[in-house]
Amino acid sequence: MVFEWQQYPPEKLLVERFRISGGFHNDQRTIIEQLVQGKRVLAIQRTGWGKSLCYQMASLYYPHLTIIFSPLKALMRDQCERCNTAYGIPSAIVSSEFSQGENEVTLERAASGKLKLLFIAPERLSNMLWQQYIPRMLVSMIVIDEAHCISTWGHDFRPDYRRIVTLLNAIPRQTPVLALTATANRRVEQDILQQMGAGVVVVRGTMLRSNLYLNVVYVQGEEEKLAYLGETLPHALGSGIVYTATKRDAEMVSAFLQHLGFVAEYYHAGRDEPTRLDIEQKFMQDQYKVICSTNALGMGIDKSNIRFVIHYQMPSSPIHYYQEMGRAGRDGKVSWCILLYDPADIAIQEHFIRAAKPEYSQYEHVLSLLQTTSEGLHEPEIMGRTGCSRKVVRNILAALIEQRFVVRGIERRYIALNRPGSPSFTEYDILYEKKLYELNAIQEYASCDGCFMEYLTTFLGDQPGYRCDECGRCRPEHFPSVMVSKRMQEQVIYFRDKHLLPH
C-alpha cells in the first residue's frame, strides 16, 4: 500500500497507523517531509528520540523497497517484529543469524516486491548472494543506521560501512537517503556529509537528556565497587543495567548480586544466541532487576523503562558512555546514570585499544595466506593459521574488502582477488590515535569540575554553557554518600574469598 501525502498527511498516519497520540517530536515531521521530497538527510538526534519512526513512516509514501543498513542485530529484530505485527509493514532481516537458504528466501521476497522494509547488516554488501539479488530490487529509499560508522573519525568506525557509500554513488541521485546517528560531533558530521555527497539536509538536535541524573563515584578496587552495588541497588526503583568492560566481570558481578538475593543475570557475546534472546525477552518483560553485561547488550534493546545504568568500569570514550547510559529513561522519567571510577581501570581499555590494532606484518600474513587458495578461507581458519585474534582478523579483512583485495564469498569464505598494487593500512593508525584521545577524554569527564551533562553534550557537538542542575556536580545533594555497613563488608569478603577476587 502506498499513501498519498494530501490524503494521509503524517499527522494522520501517526495516530491511525502508528498509534501515537502525543504528536511528533521536534524535527521528526521535517525529516519525513524531506525524505518524501526525495532528499538525502543526515539526522543527528539524541538517544531515545525516535529516529526509526522517520523511515518507517516515509517508506509508506513510496511504492517499493526501503533498505535499512544496521550493525545491531537486536535492534533489527525488534524493529522488524514491530513493523510486521504492530504497524502492518511487511519487513524481514538478512543476517548471519539465518542460514544461507533462509537469507536467500528473504532476498527473493525483497526482489519480487513482497517486502516494504529490508533490514541488513553492512558486511553483507560484500556477500556474493547479496550482489546477485540487489540488481533485481526496486529500491525507493536507503537508510543508514548508526551512520557515524561511516566516518574514520566516528567512535565506532566500520570499514564495511564504506561499501554503503559505493552503493549510494551507484543509485539514482533522486533516491532518498536517511543517515541516522546519535553520536556525531562536528568533525564526524563533516566526514559523513562528504561520504553522502552534495545537497544533504542536516537536521541536528540537542544531545541533552534532561531526565538522566549523572554522577561519578570514586572507588578503589573490586571490593569497593561490589559494596557500592550491594548498598545502593536495594533502593533503586525498577530495573537496570550494570555495564562491565569484560565478560569475566559481567559474570562475577551477576554472581555477587545473585548471592545478595537479586534477580540478576549476565549477558555477553560469549553466550549462545538462544540464551541471549531469552535474556533480552525476560529483561523486556521486567523479569530481571539487573542485567550485568558488556557492551553487547543495549544498542538494540528498546526498553523504555530502564531506571538506572551503572558502569562498573570506565568505558572507552565519552561517546560510548553517552550511548550506553542513554539506554536509561527512554520513557522520559527520571533515571540514574553512575560511573564507578577507578583510575586503575584505564589499563583495561588501553589493552583493548592495543589489541585491536593490526600490525603491518599481520596484514601481509592474512593477504598472502588468502592468495594461496582459490577456494577462500573461513574466519576461524584464518585465525588458526595466522595466530591473530578474531578482532584483528576482522579489522584486516574489512580493510582488504574495502580496498577490493578480498571479497566475502558464499558460505562466509574470504577470497583474495587477483588485482595489481598493494593495499594501504594507514587507516588504523589514525583510529589508534583517535581512540587514545577519546580514552583520555573519558578520564577528563570523570574528573571535571563542571556539569557532567554539559561535558558530554559539548563533546558531541552541542554548544557549551549548559547546566543541567541535576547531576552530581550541579546538585550533589541528589547523590548522598553511600555508607557501607559491616554486614555488606562481610558479604563482600565472603564472596571475594569464594570467587578468588584480588585482595
Range(s) within the chain of domains with CATH label 3.40.50.300: 10-204, 212-349+465-499
Strand segments (E) across 49-130? 65-69, 91-94, 117-120
Rounded distance, CA 418 to CA 397, Å?
16
Which phi and psi angles does 143 have, rounded to 5°? -125, 130
Which phi and psi angles does 442 have, rounded to 5°? -70, -30
pTM, full prediction: 0.84
Rounded distance, CA 356 to CA 350, Å?
10
What SS3 state is found at 452?
A: helix
* Residue found under cell 569464594: 498
How many other C-beta atoms lie within 10 A of the C-beta of residue 215?
17
The predicted structure's pLDDT at residue 152: 66
Residue pair 116/66 in contact by the 8 Å Cβ criterion = yes
Range(s) within the chain of domains with CATH label 1.10.10.10: 359-424
In the sheet where 177-181 sits, what is the strand order?
Answer: 91-94, 117-120, 65-69, 139-144, 177-181, 40-44, 200-204
The CATH homologous superfamily to which domain 10-204 belongs is: P-loop containing nucleotide triphosphate hydrolases (3.40.50.300)
Residue pair 388/366 in contact by the 8 Å Cβ criterion = yes
The predicted structure's pLDDT at residue 7: 92
- Which fold is adopted by the domain 212-349+465-499? Rossmann fold (3.40.50)
Residue pair 228/251 in contact by the 8 Å Cβ criterion = no
SS3 for 36-68 is HCCCEEEEECCCCCCHHHHHHHHHCCCCCEEEE
Strand segments (E) across 342-452? 406-408, 414-416
Residue pair 40/100 in contact by the 8 Å Cβ criterion = no
User: Looking only at Cα atoms, what is the longest distance across the chain?
Assistant: 70
Rounded distance, CA 144 to CA 158, Å?
13
Render each residue's pLDDT in the chain as its tens digit; 503 residues: 688 888 999 999 999 999 998 899 889 999 999 999 999 999 999 988 889 999 999 999 999 999 999 988 878 888 999 999 999 999 999 988 888 899 999 999 999 999 999 999 888 887 888 888 999 999 999 999 999 888 766 667 776 787 888 888 888 889 999 999 988 888 889 989 988 988 999 999 999 999 999 999 999 999 999 999 999 999 999 999 999 999 999 999 999 999 999 999 999 989 998 999 899 999 999 999 999 999 988 665 778 899 999 999 999 999 999 989 999 999 999 999 999 999 999 999 999 998 888 888 998 999 999 999 988 999 999 999 999 998 889 888 888 887 889 988 777 789 999 888 888 877 778 888 888 999 999 999 999 999 999 999 999 999 888 899 999 999 999 999 999 999 999 999 999 888 766 65
Convert the pLDDT of each residue in 77-87 to its tens digit.
889 999 999 99
- Which fold is adopted by the domain 359-424? Arc Repressor Mutant, subunit A (1.10.10)
* Residue found under cell 572507552: 316
Comparing C-alpha atoms, which of 181, 175, 128 is closest to residue 150? 181
DSSP label of 411? G
CA 19 remoteness from chain centre: 27
Give the dihedral sign, CA 358/359/363/366: negative
